A and B are shown apart, each in its own frame.
Chain A
Amino acid sequence: MTALLRRSDSANPGMRQGHLDSVALFSTGWKKFGLLLGLAIYLLGPLMLSDFQLSVIDYAGIAAIGAIGLNVLTGYTGQISLGHGFFLGAGAFTAAYFGGNLDLPLPLWLAAAAVVGALIGLVIGPFALRLKGSYLAIITLGLVFLGQHIFENWKSVTGGLSGRAVTAPVKLGPVDFANLDIGGKEFSREGGYFYLIWAVVALVALLVKNLMRTRLGRAFQAVRDRDAAAEVIGVRLARTKVMSFVVSSSLAAVAGALYGSFQRFVNPEEFGLFLSIEFVAMIVIGGAATIYGPVLGALFITAVPFLIEEWSDRIPGVATEAGETGITVFALNQALFGLLIIGFLVLEPRGLAALWARIKVYFLAWPFSY
C-alpha cells in the first residue's frame, strides 16, 4: 500500500484540500445566509406573529420532527412505512405517563419518549426484515391497528377511548416554555412552545444530518440503493435496517411527546392511519432523502388544513356549518392530500426540495434558460 500512498502525493490537488469540505454543513454563502435567516426568524417569530399563526407553526415543527424521522426510514433507507402514526402515539402516551403520572421534568420525559420509541422500533424492526416495498407497507399498516387497540384498552396509561390529559411540565431549569418570560417580556404559550419545538427541530435535523454523513447513515443509503451489493461489501443488512427503524421511531416518539404536551390532551383516535399517511405525504411533497425537505413538507401539510378552514366559506361545495350540504373541511383535506401526493409523484417525485433546487438553478443561469 505504500506505493499507492506515494503516488497520491502528487495527485489532483482539487480533491485533496480539506477532505471534509464536501460534507460541510454550511458550505456555501447561500447556505450560511439561510442559516442566519432561519436564526432571525427563530428569534423574532414569537414577537411578530399572532398566537394562531404561532400555533400552526408549532404544530408544523412537531410534524417536522416526525417527518425527519420517517425520512430516515423511507427516504434514506428505502423502507416504506405506514406505521409512523403509531410511534407518535407511543411517544405522546409516554410523555403523558412519565411527565404527568410520574411528574418527571422535561428532559427526562422527552428522553423517555425517545427511548420507548427506540425500543418499539427495535421490536418491530426485525419483522420488517424479510419484506420490502408494498409488503412492508402492509405489515406496518397492521401496526397502526394493533396500536389503536392497545391505546384504546390500556386505560391506566392512555385513558382509553376518551383519551387523557397531558400535564407534563415544560420547564428547563428556570425557563418555563408554557409561560415564558424573558427580561419582563411575557410570551404566550404558543410563543414559548415555538422556541422549544423549533430548537428541537434544529437539533434533530443536525443530528440526522451528521448521521447521514457518517458510517451508519451511509449504510442506510447503501441498503436503499442496492441492498445485495451493500451486504457483500460488509454492511450487515439486518442490523442496519433495524437501526433505521430504531432511529425513525425514536424521533417519531419525540414528536409525539411534544404533540401531547403542546395540545395538553391526547386521544387514541388521533394516531390512526390518516396521521401515518400525512407523514408519507410530508416526505413525498417535501422531498425524500434531504434534511430540509421533510421540514418544508411538514410546514406545507400542516398549514393547508388551516388555510382551507380560513377560506372554506369561499370554496364552493364545502360545508362549514352543521346542516349545510357539501363535503366537510376534514374530507376536503383528505382528498387534497391524496391529490397532492399523486400530483407530486407524477410531476416532481423529488418534492419541494427539488423544486427549490430548480428555481435556484434557473436564477443562477438567468437570463439563459439552459
Chain B
Amino acid sequence: MANSKVLLDVKDVSLSFGGLDALKNVSYQVTEGELFAVIGPNGAGKTSIFNCLNAVYKPQTGSAKLDGVELLDLRPADTAELGIARTFQNLALFTNLSVIDNLMLGRHHLLRSGPISGPLWWGKARREEEVQRRRCAEIADFLDLADHGSMPVGALPYGVQKRIEMGRALAMEPRLLLLDEPVAGMNQEETEETAHHILQIRRELGIATLLVEHQMDLVMDLADRVMVLDFGQVVAIGEPAEIQRNERVHQVYLGGAS
C-alpha cells in the first residue's frame, strides 16, 4: 500500500431479498491505491457487494462512504460521476458500437455537449470529441486494444471484449475500480495478459481496485489484502499469506467440522 488513507469505508451493510440474506453486517475498508480482493464460494455475495457500491441494490442497513460521501443514497449514474467504475461478470458492452465509442461512453459523465451543441457539431462538440477521442485512443493503446479501432465490439473475441470492458471502466477516470471476475472463461495466455494489465493499472495509474475473482493463484499473487465471504458474511480479511493459513477459510472452501 503506497499510502494508507482510507478511500472506501463500508460499515455493517446488510442486504436481503425477501427472506434471503445476501449480505449480513459486511464491513471493510479499502485504502487509496490498494488492490483489495473479494473471494468466496458461489452465492457468497461477491457481486452483491459491487451492486451496493454501484447503487444498483439498496441495502436495508449500513453505510458505504467513498472519501466521505455516502454511496447508498445515490443513484447508479451518480456513483459513476463520483468515480466508481466497474466491469461485469457477464459482458455488458455496447455491442453495436466500436471500441472507441464504448470507451467514449465511459467518459460520458466528463462530456458536456447536448441536444443543441451536439447536432450543430462544428465548434464546442467537435473540439470535445477530438480531445476525448484522443484520450480514448491512449487508453486503448494502454490495454493493447488499438488494433480493433472501428469494429463493432460484439464481433470481437471474448477475451478482447473483457479487456474492452476494463478499458471502458478506465475511461471513466475512476478513483475506485470494481473488477468482477476479469479472467473468468479465459485461457492461460489471456489470464496472464489480464493479470499484467491489472498490475499495470495499479502501478502506473494507482487506482484503488476491488477485485472479485475465483482463480486463487491470481488473487494471491496480485492482491494486497483479501476478504473472504461465505453466505453473505465476512469470514476473514487479511493479507494473502494470512488468508491461506486461516482455518475458517479452509472450512469454507473445503468443508469440514465447523
A residues apposed to B, CB below 8 Å: 1, 3-5, 7-8, 11-12, 14-16, 19-20, 22-23, 207-208, 210-211, 213-219, 221-222, 224-226, 228-237, 243, 246-247, 289
Contact = CB atoms under 8 A, between A and B. Distances in A.
Interface in B89-143: 92-98, 100-101, 104-106, 108-109, 111-115, 117-121, 125-126, 128-130, 133-134, 137-142
A225 B146 contact: no
Contact of B108 (A4, A208, A211, A234): A234
A207 B125 CA distance: 12
B56 interface: yes
A122 to B, nearest CB: 11
A218 B146 contact: no
B168 A233 contact: yes
Contacts of B109: 233-234
Contacts of B85: 233
Binding site secondary structure of chain A? helix
Contacts of A214: 111, 113, 117-119, 121, 125, 128-129
Interface of B: 54, 56, 76-77, 79-81, 85-86, 88, 92-98, 100-101, 104-106, 108-109, 111-115, 117-121, 125-126, 128-130, 133-134, 137-142, 146-147, 149-150, 168-169, 172-173, 204-205
A219 B105 contact: yes
A210 B142 contact: no
Contact of B119 (A8, A20, A211, A232): A211
28 contacts: A1-B173, A8-B141, A14-B146, A16-B134, A16-B137, A22-B149, A208-B119, A210-B121, A210-B125, A214-B113, A214-B118, A214-B121, A214-B125, A214-B128, A218-B97, A218-B105, A224-B96, A225-B96, A226-B95, A229-B94, A232-B56, A232-B76, A233-B80, A233-B105, A234-B80, A235-B77, A235-B108, A247-B115
A336 to B, nearest CB: 30
B118 A210 contact: yes
Binding site secondary structure of chain B? helix
A237 B138 CA distance: 28
B146 A12 contact: yes
B208 to A, nearest CB: 14
A215 B98 contact: no
B94 A225 contact: yes
